[in-house]
Amino acid sequence: MRLAGHRGAPAWSPENTLASFAKALELGAQALEFDVHLTADGRLAVIHDATLDRTTNGVGRVADVTLEDIQRLRTDGGERVPSMDQVLDLAAGKAFLHVEVKDPSALRPAVDLLRARRLLDSARISSFWHGALRESKAVEPGLQTGVLFSAAPIRPAALALDAGADALHVCHTYITESLVAEARSHGLQVLGWTAQSAADVGRLFHLGVDEIVTDDPGMARQVLAHLAAPAAPPRPRSPEELRMDAERASIQALMKSRPGDAGTPREPGKKPSW
């Protein structure tokens, strides 16, 4: 069961920053999820919102500003908005990459970049824009895709099949045994987002999803390690218990050696005759 850092490790470091991705890796994330938008000069900025307002000290739409100008801004904690290239520099070869295309216009540049960086085998494009995922399959059939949704559709697998996708990327509260079973029957993977607590991680573990996306990979890794650990071995017996074990064994051996006594339970209330 793979563990992915959602926008890095935002429980520890500002979302979608190089510091956050590095922290997620340090905490044991095997995959990183990040969001991409196209800038005014056709570059890929790693930022969740369509505007700069919430996560930086700038304002306005990402699509109206060049990457260079976006990178003059500061996020919480004094970090900068990274380009997708910079995230790949940090994470390529260290983690699987979940590239969430926030706007369909970012799809082609993101696929082109993964191809140019020879990362098609270690990445998956995900999106709430399922048409963009279908386009991804048309231009790069070997690149995995995942349909994002936050709902309980009548036929969840149909969402993936319509988009030609490989995986269901589902808001974790909507994941059920029947959704997992339906995905399995169509050969689809299931990824649950975004586990915030140990209870969320435990529920997804027991449902048997393929991947858990979390804001806190450290917490999730500890929970998974605990759940996957074999049952604790019995505690060692004390010298007194060992002495009593030996005594019991010798009495049983003695009973077996007495003709007629072997294997017959004694009558209730009757004391042994020796």
The CA distance from 64 to 61, in Å, is: 5
Q: Residue 71 is encoded by which pair of tokens? A: 């990178």
The CA distance from 44 to 84, in Å, is: 6
By three-state DSSP, how is residue 164 classified? coil
The CA distance from 58 to 60, in Å, is: 7
- Provide, rounded to whole angstroms, the least separation between the CB of residue 39 and Ca ion: 18
Should residue 79 be labelled a site residue for ligand G3P when binding is judged by CB under 6 A? no
Q: Give me the catalytic one of 6, 130, 169, 172.
A: 6
x/- track of binding to ligand G3P for residues 97-116 (CB under 6 A): ---x----------------
How many other C-beta atoms are found inside a 10 Å radius of the C-beta of residue 12? 17
Should residue 124 be labelled a site residue for ligand G3P when binding is judged by CB under 6 A? no
The DSSP result for 80-145, as a single string, is -PPBHHHHHHHHTTTSEEEEEESSGGGHHHHHHHHHHTT-GGGEEEEES-HHHHHHHHHH-TTSEE
- Annotated catalytic residue 48: yes
**Which C-beta is closer to Ca ion: that of 35 or that of 211?**
35
By CB under 6 A, name the one of 193, 216, 218, 223 that touches ligand G3P: 193
**Which C-beta is closer to ligand G3P: that of 3 or that of 246?**
3
- Provide, rounded to whole angstroms, the least separation between the CB of residue 38 and ligand G3P: 16
- Annotated catalytic residue 130: no
Q: Which of 175, 162, 88 is nearest to 129 (CA)?
A: 162
By CB under 6 A, name the one of 5, 13, 33, 224 that touches ligand G3P: 33
Catalytic annotation, residues: 6, 48
Q: Which residues bind ligand G3P (CB under 6 A)?
A: 6, 33, 35, 48, 100, 148, 169, 193-194, 213
